[in-house]
Structure 1
Amino acid sequence: MKFDQPLQAAKLIKRYKRFLADVELPNGEVKTMHCANTGAMTGCAEPGSTVWYSTSDNPKRKYPNSWELTQTKEGHWICVNTARANRLVEEAINKKAITELQGYSSLRTEVKYGSENSRIDILLSDEDKPSCYIEVKSVTLLEENGQGFFPDAVTTRGQKHLRELIEVAQRGERAVLFYAILHSGIEKVSAAHHIDPDYHQLIKEAEQAGVEIICYKAVLDQNELYLDNCIEFRQTS
């Protein structure tokens, strides 16, 4: 995925009200921009980090600039725009870059499903096999020794999605939880038992029910993003 226009760099002053961030441009101007991330953004929003942002030509937008990437003082690249994750996975599937998700003739997005009135991120279909329901989550929380975790805050929405995937698996269709690793420092992933124990327990139940967990890491810089290689998911006790 290449950005429509080259991203511009600024220095992060602060993120606030969940959806806003103030940055300082190279010329000293302070600008407020949109932050498309509802999570805690732990380690992704440290003041003084480099922010890479895009600019919309939509005249109706109050904040035309969007925070896309963080480049940390340690040299890590992080995609903080969670809306990019679904597009990255969709693009990778279409390019046959995800080995585990090949062999389907149809791809649809945001399809209604489930007893809790959800929308699946990606639905793959083919006449000769069961449909494949894919829920995409972006992973940006890095702790020690390359260990990544999801979620970075308690997620009742994420718990709901796991329950829906369990139902899919139980009725004999294919259910996939896809972790898009959007932090260059993450080398392995686990459910964050220390942050959301209910989600952690549901992950165990999901695996027992037959839900597949697939993790792919992105290559990131200010020019493009793409999913490159499969990495390990480690279940914790």
Structure 2
Amino acid sequence: MKEILLEIKHDKTGKFISRPNRYLAEVEIDGNIELVHVHDPGRLKELLIPGAEVYIKRAVNPARKTRWDLIAVENNGETVLLNSAYHRYIAEAYLKNFAVSEFGVYDYIKPEAKYKDSRLDFYMEKGEEKIWLEVKGCTLTIGKAAMFPDAPTKRGLKHLRELEELSRENKAAILILIFRKSEYFMPNFETDPEFSEKLIEISQKGVGVYPIQLEFTDGKIFYRGIIPLCSKNL
């Protein structure tokens, strides 16, 4: 099944030069080197390779120090979305597409729902059922596996513990947006063993883990289906 979830436009293409820090990239645009904002704080070292073609968009605020936002990169014939600001909108489009969403029809949805001292990405209600949902974006592949995280994430671990706590009285789940072609998903034990072990643990205690395969083609995000969760490499 292939369903359009969201359209994401860009203004120009450029050539990636370097990444001075995790929030900035140097990109050659129309022959000039410009600083471009990188919204994804992950390492992305297998994607942001010098000379790679990148897609950029003008910043909404003209007074901002960086005039451009990084949207995506070309890698081995795939366009890979790198701007995590879109993750919530992609997830919301998926949840509202009742034909494909694993969560079906709901009565109420609230983005950025407060829980204790945190905010989880979505809170939903279906009749008497309460559903808490966190969203993560995955751009790392090794062999046939999509893997998350690509850098240690204490914030991500905190979210897993909160979902585990919530699952005792509600339905709790994590939606993993996979932006590269993969056959299965597995947590990245080498990079963050604590997060990875907790993800497998809570998946066995009733927290739903939904790795959804996406495709970014011609400025559109397509839903391709659910791929399996594996606890170790195949």
**Is TM (by shorter chain) over 0.5?**
yes
How do residues 3-82 of structure 1 correspond to structure 2 at under 5 angstroms? Answer: 3=8, 5-25=9-29, 27-72=30-75, 74-82=76-84
**Greater alpha carbon shift after TM alignment, 92-101 vs 61-70:** 92-101
Question: What do residues 39-77 of structure 1 show as CA deviations (whole Å, max 9, x unaligned)?
Answer: 1113121111110011134222221211010102x2122
TM-fit CA distance, 1:6: 4.0
Separation (CA, whole Å) in 1 of partners of 2:91 and 2:18: 30
Match of 1:129 in 2: 128
Count of aligned positions? 228
CA contact (8 A) 2:94 2:101 kept: no
How do residues 1-237 of structure 1 correspond to structure 2 at under 5 angstroms? Answer: 1-3=6-8, 5-25=9-29, 27-72=30-75, 74-114=76-116, 117-126=117-126, 128-144=127-143, 146-171=144-169, 173-183=170-180, 185-236=181-232
Question: What do residues 73-111 of structure 1 show as CA deviations (whole Å, max 9, x unaligned)?
Answer: x21221111111111010111122543111211111111
SS at match of 1:201: helix
Return the structure number with greater strand share: 2
Separation (CA, whole Å) in 2 of partners of 1:136 and 1:57: 25
SS at match of 1:233: coil
Task: Give unmatched runs, 5+ long, in structure 2.
Answer: 1-5
CA contact (8 A) 2:10 2:55 kept: no
Question: What do residues 88-144 of structure 1 show as CA deviations (whole Å, max 9, x unaligned)?
Answer: 010111122543111211111111114xx2111011113x23211110000011111
| Backbone CA RMSD of aligned residues | 1.6
Separation (CA, whole Å) in 2 of partners of 1:224 and 1:189: 23
SS at match of 1:10: strand
Q: TM-score, normalised by structure 1?
A: 0.90
